[in-house]
Structure 1
Amino acid sequence: MDQIVTLDSRQEAALQAVANKFVSVRKGDVMKALKEMIVLNGRLQDQLDARSAPRGRQGW
Structure 2
Amino acid sequence: MDHILTLDSRQEAALQVVAEKFVAQHKGDAVKALKEMIVLNGHLQERLDAVERRRRATQ
- TM normalised by structure 1 equals 0.87
Question: What is the CA deviation profile of residues 3-48 of structure 1, one whole-angstrom value per residue up to 9, with x for unaligned ones?
Answer: 1100000000000000000000100000000000000000000000
RMSD: 1.0
Segments of structure 1 that go 5 or more residues without pairing to the other structure are none
Partner residue, 1:55: 57
Partner residue, 2:36: 36
Partner residue, 1:4: 4
Segments of structure 2 that go 5 or more residues without pairing to the other structure are none
CA distance in 2 between counterparts of 1:34 and 1:20 reads 12
Which secondary structure does the structure 2 equivalent of 1:40 belong to?
helix
Higher helix share: 2
Partner residue, 1:27: 27
Q: Tell me which structure has the larger Cα radius of gyration.
A: 1
Which secondary structure does the structure 2 equivalent of 1:5 belong to?
coil
**Which residue identity does 2:8 align to in structure 1?**
D
CA shift, 1:55, in A, is 2.8
Q: Which runs of 4+ in 1 moved over 3 A?
A: none
- TM normalised by structure 2 equals 0.89
Percent identical among aligned pairs is 68
